């Protein structure tokens, strides 16, 4: 049977994943002042970062419509949809509504909508896992059971150069963001099992914060030899490579994948941000 993985555009891909032909991306829309930016093949990261730097207002995004998801449900027998955490975006609810509406007319179709409880490279790891399971000939039911367990065991952490965007969008208090930015304190943020964001640690300067992040990963990592490390970076491949080496030298992951951030992940990670999932 044929299959298709549909990710919202927070699912950051590299060239290898794009070339599989089995992954389609449904774009979110970014609003920066009067500029509407579609997070699709036309997205230019440098342009978004420049507009974000110039803006002083809240930066917003809009999730895909149910119709945008439904248009892509015809492209395979088994459909797997991967969305941003439902605690951070309406993308999951939109995809789930699309699934229900589509199945009313096409009850024979297999469609799984996955709330990643993560973002960016966390969604990438879910897509990679599904690709690997499909290659082994697993059934839709077997993949569903496996991928949901994989999702529940996955964790996402990130370190940002600036907390300005998170503060402007109401994710952090103004006082916390101001203190961190003024004192050059870089917060180590982590996902929760529910898909929200908590602060796990902090360090003075980016290198110290990345070291703190690695220590946090060491504490909660289970069976790394069986898992793939995912790293996303916003416009800083050198820092991503540094982070990868820092982690792989201490934790024996089976493999790793590096991706640059597309629009939505760039919006929140901001220039120089590092996101890690495992």
Query: Is residue 156 a contact partner of residue 275, using CB atoms and an 8 Å limit?
Result: yes
DSSP states of 188-203 as a string? EEEE-TTS-EEEEEEE
Among positive and negative, which fits the CA dihedral 141, 145, 148, 154? negative
The Cα 244–Cα 229 span in angstroms is 8
CATH class name, domain 3-27+64-153 = alpha beta
Helix residue spans in the chain (DSSP H)? 15-18, 45-54, 66-70, 91-105, 121-135, 140-153, 164-168, 174-182, 206-220, 237-248, 263-269
pTM of this structure: 0.94
CATH 3.30.1180.10 in the chain, residue ranges:
156-277
pLDDT at 175: 46
pLDDT at 105: 96
pLDDT at 134: 97
Query: Is residue 236 a contact partner of residue 208, using CB atoms and an 8 Å limit?
Result: no
Mean pLDDT by 10 residues, the chain (278 residues): 95 96 97 97 97 91 97 94 97 98 96 98 98 97 98 96 72 56 81 92 94 96 95 98 98 97 96 97
pLDDT at 181: 61
Classify domain 156-277 at the CATH topology level: Hypothetical Protein Tm841; Chain: A;domain 3 (3.30.1180)
CATH 3.40.50.10440 in the chain, residue ranges:
3-27+64-153
Query: Is residue 133 a contact partner of residue 146, using CB atoms and an 8 Å limit?
Result: yes
């Amino acid at each position: 049977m044929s299959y298709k993985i549909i990710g919202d555009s927070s699912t950051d891909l590299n060239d290898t994943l794009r070339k599989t032909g089995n992954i389609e991306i449904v774009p979110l829309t970014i609003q920066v002042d009067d500029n509407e930016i579609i997070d699709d093949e036309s997205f230019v990261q440098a342009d978004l970062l420049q507009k974000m730097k110039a803006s002083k207002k809240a930066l917003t995004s809009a999730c895909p419509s149910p119709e945008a998801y439904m248009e892509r449900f015809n492209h395979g027998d088994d459909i797997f949809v991967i969305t941003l955490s439902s605690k951070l975006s309406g993308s999951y609810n939109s995809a789930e509504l699309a699934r229900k509406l589509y199945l009313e007319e096409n009850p024979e179709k297999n469609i799984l909508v996955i709330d990643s409880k993560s973002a960016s490279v966390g969604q990438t790891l879910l897509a990679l896992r599904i690709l690997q399971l499909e290659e082994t000939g697993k059934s839709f039911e077997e993949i569903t059971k496996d991928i949901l367990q994989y999702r529940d065991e996955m964790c996402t952490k990130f370190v940002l150069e600036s907390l300005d965007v998170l503060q402007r969008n109401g994710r952090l208090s103004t006082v916390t963001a101001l203190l961190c930015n003024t004192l050059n304190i870089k917060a180590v943020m982590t996902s929760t099992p529910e898909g929200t964001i908590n602060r796990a640690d902090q360090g003075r300067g980016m290198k110290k914060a990345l070291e703190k992040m690695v220590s946090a990963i060491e504490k909660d990592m289970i069976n790394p030899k069986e898992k793939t490390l995912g790293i996303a970076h916003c416009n800083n491949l050198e820092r991503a490579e540094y982070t990868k080496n820092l982690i792989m030298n201490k934790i024996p992951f089976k493999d790793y994948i590096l991706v640059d951030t597309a629009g939505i992940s760039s919006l929140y990670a901001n220039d120089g941000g590092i996101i890690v999932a495992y």
